[in-house]
Structure 1
Amino acid sequence: MNDQTNRQSPVRLEPMPEDWQRALAVVAHPDDLEYGCSAAVAAWTDAGRDVAYVLATRGEAGIDTLAPDVCGPLREREQRASAAVVGVGVVEFLDHRDGVIEYGLGLRRDIAAAIRRHRPELVITLNHRDTWGGVAWNTPDHVAVGRATLDAAADAGNRWIFPELVEQGLEPWNGVRWVAVAGSAAPTHAVDATPGLERAVRSLLEHRTYIEALTDQEPEEYCRAFLTGNAQAAAERFGGRPAVTFEVFSR
């Protein structure tokens, strides 16, 4: 028996669930969603679904050459513009400090409150594990927000966790059916990236100030190469179609 016979085919990615109307994406920084899943968001908003964004920070510590009080408002503007490209009009910021987000009750409470406000069926977040596929170390902000989002999906439905939210008029919401983690090294589901890929490139390109500080590569070339490369890498597991992948946890 040769190596070819022994080699196992990659596990096929399932299509993302489609029987939902509202989604809430919760991430740490401006640009997290644009690097992670905006081609999928474009496809969803095209289909008439409602998607809102909640960001834990304004990304104010993300550019070494800009002081936080200058950087934060700039990155907020870029985030709102990038969201609009893929049909998202609601973008909220929780005002945790960029770079030093702490996992804990305060973060869980803030995210649970957002879930109660928006009442989504699908919650989206970014890779919450220590590494990106064992290749690169993840940031503490991503780990904290991703983990807290997974926990807050349950917190949002329990009136006895954070009862002060009820006093603020935020009744429990137990309608979250899935939490989908973008950028996971163990994806289970995918969305065809083809219809939304050009808008995903333009959406990431709206973070021009950040990208120009990050790389010497021409910004559009950089955005296109990054997003196209990731989408093509998933194609083998999704019927040959370029894809945005998610690890989906059902609730």
Structure 2
Amino acid sequence: MTEPLPPMPEDWRRALAIVAHPDDLEYGCASAVARWTAEGREVAYLLVTRGEAGIDTVEPAKAGPLREREQRASAAVVGVSEVEFLDHEDGIIEYGVRLRRDLAAAIRRHRPELVITLHFGDTWGGRYWNTPDHKAVGRAVLDAAADAGNRWIFPGDGPEPWNGVRWVAVAGADEPTHAVDVGDTLEQGVRSLLEHRAYIEALTDEDPEAYCRSFLEGVTRQAAERFDGRPAVTFRLFER
């Protein structure tokens, strides 16, 4: 697909980003978050797990606190101070009522107009199989955005119902519909991803900074082909 992508809506003040693991938002989306917070918008992060099963050389009891610290530092780089963790078990998140309830309660607490999550299709670009955690969380986010506004679903869980979610934006989607110009904030995105140093050093033998820069410059450059030549982060936008 080569059709130009329109910019994301900008008539909102509060967003909640919900993903499965520390680092999920930093593989591209954080540069957009940096732009939004610089414009004075409020963005909070909700992590369904602490990523405790994500580093093969570090046991979960140690990896969880380590990755939580890395995520908080990473969020701070792009102007996000509110970071919550739900403590579902990394690697075996189950789509179902419990997950929907937890996410709906979080949406009722934060009362966002925009909810952000990560690509939950079966594959990345038809080549790489997506993880069960990403698939479970992304699907549950879409459902919870509706659950949060229905007073008869999960009554008593969290504050009063919130039916103010106007969009759910899926980062990294194979078929994006919108984009955000990150020409001025790409460097923050690189530094934000680099805060996940322990994870990255276990993932690759490449220099961490070179790895982060190469990855993010690559994806934003590819998106620029459909966004007037401007480095961009893309989303698939679902309206409600």
For 1:230 and 1:10, the matched residues in 2 are separated by 15
Q: Distance in 2 between matches of 1:153 and 1:195?
A: 31
Separation of aligned partners in 1, 2:231 and 2:189? 13
Do 1:181 and 1:246's aligned partners in 2 also have CA atoms closer than 8 Å?
Answer: yes
Letter of the structure 2 residue corresponding to residue 42 of structure 1: A
Q: Say yes or no: does 1:89 pair with 2:81.
A: yes
Unpaired segments ≥5 residues, structure 1: 1-8
After TM superposition, the runs of 4+ consecutive aligned structure 1 residues lying more than 2 A away are none
Aligned residues: 240
**Residue 237 (str. 1) matches residue 231 (str. 2):** no
User: Given that residues 36 and 126 in structure 1 are in contact (C-alpha distance below 8 angstroms), is that contact kept between their aligned partners in structure 2?
Assistant: no
Give percent identity, aligned residues only.
75
Question: When the two structures are superposed, what TM-score results if normalisation uses the length of structure 2?
Answer: 0.99
Instruction: Write out aligned runs for 1:212-223 (5 A).
Output: 212-223=201-212
CA–CA distance in structure 2, aligned partners of residues 88 and 139 of structure 1: 26
Given candidates 66, 86, 95, the residue that maps to 1:74 is 66
**What's the C-alpha RMSD, in Å, of the aligned pairs?**
0.8
Output aligned runs, 1:124-135, within 5 Å: 124-135=116-127
Counterpart CA distance in 2 for 1:164 and 1:173 is 13
Paired residue secondary structure (1:34): coil
Q: TM-score, normalised by structure 1?
A: 0.95
Q: What displacement does 1:36 show?
A: 3.3
CA deviation profile, 1:177-199 (whole Å, cap 9, x unmatched) = 00000000000000001111000
In the other structure, the counterpart of 2:172 is 183
Secondary structure at the aligned position of 2:160 is classed as: coil
Q: Which residue of 1 aligns with 2:238?
A: 249
Aligned to 1:23: 15
The answer to whether structure 1 residue 198 and structure 2 residue 190 are counterparts is no
Within 2, Cα distance between the matches of 1:185 and 1:11?
A: 14
Structure 1 counterpart SS, 2:25:
helix
| Match for residue 115 of structure 1 among 107, 130, 144 | 107
1:163 shift after superposition: 1.1
